[in-house]
Structure 1
Amino acid sequence: MHNLLKILTALIFSLSLYGETISVMTFNVENLFDNRNDAYKTDETYLEFSKKQTPAHIRNCEKISTKRWRDDCLYIDWTDEVIEHKLNSIATVILSYGNNGPDIIGLQEVENNRILKQLFKKLEGAGYKHYVLLEGSDNRGIDTAFISKYKIIESKLHKIEFSGATKQQIGDTREIHESVFSINNKKITVFNVHFPAPYNPVFMRKAAFSTLEKLASVTKGPVLALGDFNVTQTEDDKEQTFKNANKTWYVSHRDQCSDCNGTSYWFTGKSWSFLDVIMVRKNRNTNFVADGVSIVNHPLQTREDATPIRYDAKNVIGVSDHFPVVGIIELN
């Protein structure tokens, strides 16, 4: 019932005559890869099993220290049928919001334009007209992307400077993706981020936040930032990361969504975190509408205990280990 009320709120505000409103989603779709082996990227995990039988592939997999990732590299059978199922599942979750999906979708962990186009085609009938992915420098080849009902005017990547990080640590990071959208003759800038993973040092995420802050401060007009910020609840409690961000941004889970558990669940530590966040720059005549933030908990992706079901290629179930977040934004 609560989610229904939020959807109705979205529909009501979308008809507002006194201010332009848009709905935006951030969704880490967890390893949305095709099954081609791209040169210079470590994407060998996402191949058909029949192509994984070479001694070279097995040797490379056995170098992976984390058992689950090593087993995935050796045994996942990433067939065309598995990819099709994952794409359909992602599309189903996206379109479940308001029946036609949000206006702008920011995606994380998308391999390339080839697989992004396949997802776009499954959403096109709901009014989506534009998509963009810029190839970044992440070693695995995972990138950030947008799919939008509004025109994307321009896009660029911004490198994050990590003073003191190792080459290996830097290779496990993504640039900040900036896209500018035209919304009924209004321009809005959206930064799509996928910050360094929690196993990387805290200073790397601080550097990423610092870069984002600098970019937002020199950008004119309405500014949003969304994505996988990779700040665990434990880290946030200690570093006060989002409390500090709240000085210059409205933050989805701090300013709203008080009854939300989180977007990602760590089963080992039995704890929720808001890894996935939407932020609205303050003092830009822009804000979340009242009760305008929600987490999409679709049955395809949600266990009985309310935790997310990561994608399981063997049993062909689940969607992603991150729930999507939606925010309704008013542009005055």
Structure 2
Amino acid sequence: MIQPPTLERTKELRKSKLHFCFLILVLNFPLTLLAQNNGELGVMFYNVENLFDTKNDSLKSDDEFTPFGDKFWTYTKYSDKLKNISRVILEAGGWNPPFVIGLCEVENKKVLNDLVWKTGLNHLNYHIIHHESPDERGIDVALLYRNNLFTPLESIPIKVDFGKGLRSTRDLLYVFGLLKDSIPLHVFVAHFPSRYGGVQNTKPLRYKAAQLLTDTISYILHHDANAQIIAMGDFNDDAEDESMQYLIKNGHLVNLSPTAETIGNAKGTLKYQYAWNTFDQFLLSKNLIDTTRTFFAETPMKILDFPFLLEADLNFTGTKPFRTYVGYKYNGGYSDHLPIWLNFRIIKR
């Protein structure tokens, strides 16, 4: 749980960061000016599906993602995966790359550094927020942010503890910062427990994660009723499932996924046999969908079903996400999930 001293400390951090923020704005004036002129700022979330490096980590179950593992995960395949992910980010934003990107299924900070510095993203001022989580497979959540637009003041991994004897899962990531030096923003990145082992058997785990996220958000709003909150992630449930209903039942958050639009005709963000699901979702505090304010979200959210992210589904008709692997067969694609996008707008009134 976020403690009161953390929230108080952020107020002091805002003051101490002003000179630093001014220096960033000067050094990155052209990119900042572009974003100011059009008033639009994008947020993206992407489950990148098993972004592992090629080295064996004795503390993680990552053996299959090594050159001699079951998937023969080589540096060439790893490098291609990084390029694929960077392409998605660049295609998504075009001239206006997202100012924050939530990611899940990343192994460690090294893969994030390689993504940011060894691909076409290396000129966009992306910085990294990442904490190692206790997930047994070694997959974590992370946040990338453009440091000429967003200044993080606090980041906290929130442990999701199911108790003794139950498998550990990834933390919730909480980040508080300032957008354009003046707009306070609370950001959560989540990757709820998977359905591996059966939907009904694992439902209580996702519900517990939803309770923890809800309690944390309620705590923030108790101390600041006007807090602006973005929660994004792969929740491994659809909007109508119990965990997601719990997140919105007290009225603090609005789930944007039921009204999501697509670029093409995908019916969700991932597909299992004939059925599409939208596990990847944005939830916002109500004030962020109020278009009378100076800072608000432009709904609906978008599912980025670019043609290059899909392939023909020869077994179950239509199309499906173009994955890196299909079982143990290397497929050379991107992910088993499609990314999601949300535009925000700043209006000078």
TM-score, normalised with respect to structure 1: 0.77
CA distance in 1, matches of 2:252, 2:319: 32
Cα-to-partner distance string for 1:98-154 (whole Å, 9 max, x where unaligned): 314322110000000111100011253452331111001101111001111123222
* Paired residue type of 1:44: D
Q: What stretches of structure 1 of length at least 5 have no aligned partner? A: 1-12, 53-74
| Aligned pairs (5 A) from 1:77-88 | 77-88=72-83
| Aligned pairs (5 A) from 1:292-303 | 293-303=301-311
CA distance in 1, matches of 2:175, 2:207: 22
Aligned match for 1:324, one of 314, 329, 339: 339
* Paired residue type of 2:82: L
Q: What stretches of structure 2 of length at least 5 have no aligned partner? A: 1-33, 313-317
SS of the residue corresponding to residue 64 of structure 2 reads coil
Post-superposition offset of 1:300 = 3.0
Aligned match for 2:281, one of 274, 277, 280: 277
Using a 3 Å threshold, how does the CA distance of structure 1 residues 300 and 315 change in structure 2: closer, same or farther? farther
Look up the match of 1:189: 186
1:158 aligns with 2:158: yes
| Aligned pairs (5 A) from 1:179-328 | 179-185=175-181, 186-199=183-196, 200-219=201-220, 220=224, 221-231=227-237, 233=238, 237=240, 239=242, 241-242=244-245, 245=248, 247-257=251-261, 261-267=267-273, 270-283=274-287, 287-291=296-300, 293-304=301-312, 305-312=318-325, 314-328=329-343
Aligned match for 1:89, one of 81, 84, 91: 84
Is residue 207–residue 242 contact of structure 2 (8 Å, CA) maintained in 1? Answer: no
Cα-to-partner distance string for 1:265-299 (whole Å, 9 max, x where unaligned): 012xx1111110011112466643144x2111233
Using a 3 Å threshold, how does the CA distance of structure 1 residues 306 and 249 change in structure 2: closer, same or farther? farther
CA distance in 2, matches of 1:112, 1:240: 27
Bigger RCO of structures 1 and 2 (CA < 8 A, at least 6 apart): 1
CA distance in 1, matches of 2:192, 2:120: 27
The two structures, once aligned, show a CA RMSD in angstroms of 2.6
Look up the match of 1:57: none
1:108 aligns with 2:108: no
Which is further off, 252-261 or 311-320?
Answer: 252-261
Using a 3 Å threshold, how does the CA distance of structure 1 residues 213 and 238 change in structure 2: closer, same or farther? closer
1:176 aligns with 2:189: no
Post-superposition offset of 1:301 = 1.9
Number of matched pairs: 284
Post-superposition offset of 1:21 = 4.5
Is residue 90–residue 121 contact of structure 2 (8 Å, CA) maintained in 1? Answer: no
SS of the residue corresponding to residue 189 of structure 2 reads strand
CA distance in 1, matches of 2:247, 2:112: 34
* Paired residue type of 1:42: S
